[in-house]
Homo-oligomer: A and B are copies of this chain.
């Protein structure tokens, strides 16, 4: 059934299984606003829009994956403040030709990501347009911990990263080389890794639980690596007025699992790890005496050098954005 055949009430009825309640939902979908609890009298909020064919390709990704990615890239921003996501509101512009099944699958993907951290969809706005426009706004709770902004670091802090690095870029390269759907032309030994990279590219798997864990462990600064490790470490270094020295060992360790696939595709695993965006890993600065939570890898330390400079084993590395989000149109 195409959306053209449904009025707004019928559409909302069809989507009602995805409008759930959690502990924070005081008023959910169906009023002028949602009403959300903020137990510690503050909340975090972030918003993000994706546009059909520009930010995702319908022939590469299934609607479930597109919904999951939209949720995940928003939820990762919440985690990057050290917070726990609680609620989402959606604004969607939908083509009349769209199948209701597509939309249901999109909501299922979104809901699957939200459910993983106990968050729910509490409201939204539906309109019609010839191109899919999908906007999510996500709210979260700090549960009494301090917000991990980007500017809290000092010289001497530990630099640590949780989550995948380079996997999403590897997945994009796989799709570009014709492996968006079918991996059977790859050597059998590469297929499990290739499948993982492709899935991470299509729907993102940020380490959401690590955000609140980092906050509890005393993280002084935290960021979501949406534009690639070096670009986002530069942001945190600039905001904290420090330079960052990274270790070759950490880079080698991050490259190791990706190397066989990079070699096969004729790509550079180092480029994937340092410049690949949309893995939505979490990069943080911790006090020198902190016990960095399990799941975070030590990558180096902050120094009092020129703010925003990143060095790798003593050599300055470039940190311009090389990750193009399908051609440089999306920022």
User: In whole Å, how far is A85's beta carbon from the nearest beta carbon of chain B?
Assistant: 10
Taking the complex as formed, is A260 at the interface, i.e. its CB lies under 8 A from any CB of chain B?
Answer: no
Chain A, residues 296-331, CB within 8 Å of chain B (1/0): the string is 000000000000000000000000000000000111
Known contacts A51-B133, A127-B51, A329-B128: does B27 contact A46 (CB below 8 Å)? Answer: no
Q: Are B329 and A127 in contact (CB under 8 A)?
A: yes
CB of A39 closer than 8 Å to a CB of B: yes
What residues of B have a CB within 8 angstroms of the CB of A41 in the complex? Answer: 37-41
Tell me, yes or no, whether A78 is within 8 Å of chain B by CB: yes
A32 close to B (CB within 8 Å): yes
Interface pair A128/B81, CB less than 8 Å apart: no
Q: Is the CB of A51 within 8 A of B137?
A: no
* Chain B residues within 8 Å of A205, by CB: none
Question: How many copies of this chain does one complex carry?
Answer: 2
Of the listed stretches A118-126, A245-253, A262-270, name the one at the interface; the rest are far from the partner chain: A118-126
CB-CB contacts below 8 Å: A110-135 with B: 122-129, 131, 133, 135
Enumerate chain B residues within 8 angstroms of A46, measured Cβ to Cβ.
32-34, 89, 123
**Chain B residue at minimal CB-CB distance from A92:** B49
Q: Nearest CB to that of A77 among chain B residues?
A: B32
Contacts of A222 in B (CB 8 A): 32
- Does B44 contact A78, Cβ atoms closer than 8 Å? no
Q: How many angstroms from the CA of A47 to the CA of B138 in the assembled complex? A: 11
Q: B89, A49: Cβ atoms under 8 Å?
A: no
> Do the beta carbons of B48 and A91 come within 8 Å of each other?
yes
In the assembled complex, A100 has its CB within 8 A of some CB on chain B: no
Q: Could you say which of A44, A123, A131 has the most chain B C-beta atoms within 10 Å of its C-beta?
A: A44
Does the CB pair A80–B48 fall under 8 Å?
no
Known contacts: A133-B133, A147-B27. The answer to whether A44 contacts B49 by CB under 8 A is: no
Q: Are A33 and B93 in contact (CB under 8 A)?
A: no
A147 CB to nearest B CB, Å: 5
Name 13 A/B residue pairs within 8 A (Cβ), A-sorted. Answer: A30-B150, A30-B239, A31-B150, A32-B77, A35-B42, A35-B142, A36-B43, A45-B45, A47-B91, A49-B93, A51-B129, A91-B137, A128-B330
User: Which 8 pairs show the lowest CB-CB distances between chains A and B?
Assistant: A38-B38, A32-B80, A33-B44, A49-B91, A137-B137, A33-B46, A32-B77, A47-B89
